Structure 1
Amino acid sequence: MVKQDKDHKVYVLDTNVLLHEPLAYLSFQEHDVVVPMTVLEELDHIKDRKSDVSRDARVAIRGLDDVLRDATPEQMLEGVALPTLKLENHRTPSSGKLIIVNDHLFPDSISGLPGNENDHRIINCAVHLQTQYSDKKVLLVTKDINMRLKAKGAGLKYVEDYRTDQLIDDIALLTSGFKKVDGDFWQDVGECQTQQNGRYTIHEVPKSLVPDVFCNEYLIDDTNHFAARVVGYDDEHIRLKDLGVERLMHRQAWGVKPKNINQGMALDALLDTDIELVILTGPAGCGKTLLALASALEMIIEKGIYDKVIVTRNTPEIAESIGFLPGTEEEKMAPWLAAITDTLEVLHKHDESPVTSRNYIMEKANIQFKSVNFMRGRSIQNAVVILDESQNLTASQLKTIITRCGEGTKLICTGNLAQIDSNYLTPVTSGLTYIVERFKDFEGSATINLNGVVRSRLASFAEENL
């Protein structure tokens, strides 16, 4: 059943790995992948639920069926060759197998865990394989921390998290989108080439000053005067767009002015039509939604650059209840997008009738509320798309939305990694973290971490102390 090659490993997959990435078994091309019968049973129960993971369960089942469809029962137990992956125009030959194991046949006494729980059966299966193939490295792969602890306690030598889509090990390593240089930046520069590009000045400085920059990263220093954005670089030089702190702090959109330098950098990126993707991260109350919406209104109503605003967000744990809300799709989405309507009222709180102004602006800017569930298959043109609460989305869900954006569309993703509602995501595995790292060196994207709470003194204290 299992190859006897010394370096050949045996991976036992837990159900949550296939829910996290339905085709995860393809990541182990040169090794054997074991899917216990209990995992298939759990996928079967989940696929019919009215929840956000039911689709992933169905995709996993269909994927397994594609590999095993023509296999006989004997071949399934022996193992069926994993499909060959095509990576960057090169086909990587697969030497691994996909094996279905009937873990119900193994005695519970192997691991010592009671056999009435699915997690225990899967651990039991891994321990049994470890005993059966003592010369092999048998690994249980699960995203359940408690299950990893129990597996080690039951005698399993190797237990791992599934990390192929995890680009960083610690959320503290996630880029903030800007760097603060110690002291006075220009003191260390010396001579540099400078050219005028329209209203802006472009400087070319040695890369040795800031060696690890990326496209559209902002640079500031301790003088509170210097601010620039990286617009290009090579092995020797960095091209900087000179912005200046004073100019950033005087940027405004729809009457909103930045309250700190982070918001100034965010507004600069939001109002730049050459940047098609802006990712705003930070704690509750730092102004993510306010800046995104104000910039959208400025570019649509005042400047006429885009035609409409599409506001969308994930609806965690309410996929089964959204259909029972009365009205159209937008009316069903209204409770989940109250943050947008609240923000519109804040932007017009000094008007004689804020509610009337809000309704007028919603019509004037053609603001549409859409559920992420219904974005698949669309092609969005000449619009500003605001993806709110994007920390609750997986990388594949975010890919679905980003690939919907057609010509002349700007996507603004906002999210707070401290407020993840999904049971299947953590800050390091969130799709928001994934796209921040994947897009950080893309010339058409910018990331800004708005790390200061500006909502109120109460909100600031709660963010820091609760």
Structure 2
Amino acid sequence: MKKTFVLDTNVLLHDPSAMLRFEDNDVVLPITIIEELDRFKKQPEITGRNARQVSRMLDDLRSKGQLTEGISINGDGSLQVALCRRETLLELPPELEGDKADNAILAVALELKRQCDSPVVLVSKDINLRIKADALGLTAEDYKTDKVDVDDLYIGMDKVVVASEDIDRLFKLGGVALDQEFFPNQALTLIDEANPSHTALGIVDGASGKVVPITKLSRSGVSRISPRNREQSFALDLLLRDSISLVTLVGKAGTGKTLLAIAAGLQKVADERLYSRLLISRPVVPMGKDLGFLPGDVNEKLTPWMQPLYDNFDLILGTQDSSGKPDHWRRGHEELIEHGLLQIEPLTYIRGRTIPKQFLIVDEAQNLTPHEVKTILTRAGEGTKVVLTGDPDQIDNPYVDAASNGLTYVVERFKNEPLAGHITLLKGERSGLADRAAALL
């Protein structure tokens, strides 16, 4: 049945194209949304850009007719900007009195419920507004277009029981075809049906569909980092495989996501010279209360945000002595920066750029919206590899959650793509304490 969807401002700030994503249903924007967009449009971050984009889209739609009368979109659907009647606003309970934007949105939805024969649904990412709407007898939903089921999130790995001959062919012939359907670049543990303790690790080749052995590493590992468990071995294989342009690594704290990505990036940039530069970025989102403006130039301001990355470089390059004090005779990442092999910058400066032939790592990607991740991936030029790392359980961005953040969104959308690979890291390797804390707390 055709429905009428009333959108809240936060839905449009989350996805500027949301008003066009309801197929052949009717979409209504309360007039108060326009006022709120005007308030948000001056913000410098993604919220401000989204507000300006929505305003431009609405301005373009004005050429097709009167917004207050409804404009045809998506075939049988329509888009309308609805005015809030003062009489309906006064009918709200005393606790909801006033000209607050949420109250105006509720009043518009109530008025439409009386007038429309079709079901009216209020769509908002504000949990409290959905609760208020339910108390008033309105149907309210979250914006689900870019949500994924976290419980069934693709982990990138599987176990397969095979004949012993298949394991032999895997290594003798360099690949084996199995009579099962797998995702491209899915990591497999092959188990010998005659001897379950006899196993082999392989990757489903994205081009041929055959299972091929994972990359054999030297004794020194990758940039002096060696995998400590099966998932890390799979992750390093995807990171080192040149045919894969996008790698996503998901895992709890201490599983080695960032360390493995940096180690693989250093080998590809500094040793193999396959990429011109290792570019590392992360969203500037604080955990807890923000400290406010920081003193110094841009590099000094970024140091607190990028310190976790510097810690990984110190570990890889051995630029910390046993006492934990930096070794000033070997500057580590600073020397790489001086030679143009490494660049570390916030995501604020990545918009509008074209990034060719670089190894791009985006750390803490769980704090990004799907729209922000799309912006990042569309920056990738010819020959660039993008690695997204993060933990959906450690989200500091108030506008996303475990089901709607950009990292999990990309994992689900790209699981069928031959150019992408994903691994969920399960075991913590930072320390016994860190592993137990992540599990128990």
Provide TM-score, normalisation by structure 1: 0.84
**Partner residue in 1 for 2:297:** 327
- Kept in 2, the 8 Å contact 1:393–1:431? The answer is yes
C-alpha distance in structure 2 between counterparts of 1:454 and 1:128, whole Å: 57
**Pairing 1:270–2:245 present:** no
Superposition deviation, residue 50 in structure 1: 4.5
Match for 2:394: what amino acid?
Q
**Partner residue in 2 for 1:64:** 58
C-alpha distance in structure 2 between counterparts of 1:53 and 1:62, whole Å: 14
**Partner residue in 2 for 1:228:** 202
Superposition deviation, residue 251 in structure 1: 7.9
**Partner residue in 2 for 1:186:** 162
**Partner residue in 1 for 2:142:** 161
Match for 1:394: what amino acid?
T
Distance change (3 Å), C-alpha of 1:390 and 1:225 = same
C-alpha distance in structure 2 between counterparts of 1:364 and 1:258, whole Å: 28
C-alpha distance in structure 1 between counterparts of 2:173 and 2:392, whole Å: 35
**Pairing 1:172–2:151 present:** yes
Stretch moving more, 397-406 or 280-289: 397-406
Match for 1:310: what amino acid?
L
Superposition deviation, residue 438 in structure 1: 1.4
Match for 1:451: what amino acid?
L
**Partner residue in 2 for 1:131:** 114
SS in 1 for 2:392: coil
Match for 1:463: what amino acid?
A
**Partner residue in 1 for 2:427:** 452
Superposition deviation, residue 448 in structure 1: 1.0
Match for 1:214: what amino acid?
F
Superposition deviation, residue 309 in structure 1: 0.9
Match for 1:271: what amino acid?
L
Distance change (3 Å), C-alpha of 1:456 and 1:66 = same
SS in 1 for 2:174: strand
SS in 2 for 1:262: helix
**Given the alignment, which residue of 332, 335, 338 partners 1:363?**
338
**Partner residue in 2 for 1:23:** 17
Question: Any gaps of 5 or more consecutive residues in structure 2?
Answer: none
Superposition deviation, residue 121 in structure 1: 2.2
Superposition deviation, residue 463 in structure 1: 0.7
C-alpha distance in structure 2 between counterparts of 1:70 and 1:440, whole Å: 39
Question: Any gaps of 5 or more consecutive residues in structure 1?
Answer: 1-6, 85-93
**Pairing 1:10–2:1 present:** no
**Partner residue in 1 for 2:270:** 301
**Given the alignment, which residue of 81, 97, 100 partners 2:81?**
100
**Partner residue in 2 for 1:314:** 283
- Kept in 2, the 8 Å contact 1:391–1:417? The answer is yes
C-alpha distance in structure 2 between counterparts of 1:232 and 1:312, whole Å: 27
**Partner residue in 1 for 2:72:** 81
- Kept in 2, the 8 Å contact 1:382–1:408? The answer is yes
Q: Alpha-carbon deviations, 1:129-185, whole Å to 9, x = none?
A: 10122x2211111122222222111111x222211222x3x212111111123xxx2
Stretch moving more, 106-115 or 418-427: 106-115
C-alpha distance in structure 2 between counterparts of 1:50 and 1:362, whole Å: 28
Higher relative contact order (CA 8 A, sep 6+): 2
**Partner residue in 2 for 1:417:** 392
Match for 1:32: what amino acid?
D
**Given the alignment, which residue of 27, 34, 37 partners 1:43?**
37
C-alpha distance in structure 2 between counterparts of 1:249 and 1:179, whole Å: 25
C-alpha distance in structure 2 between counterparts of 1:282 and 1:191, whole Å: 31
Match for 1:279: what amino acid?
T
**Partner residue in 1 for 2:254:** 285
**Percent of counterpart pairs with the same letter?**
34
Q: Aligned-residue CA RMSD in angstroms?
A: 2.8
Q: How many residues align?
A: 426
SS in 2 for 1:428: coil
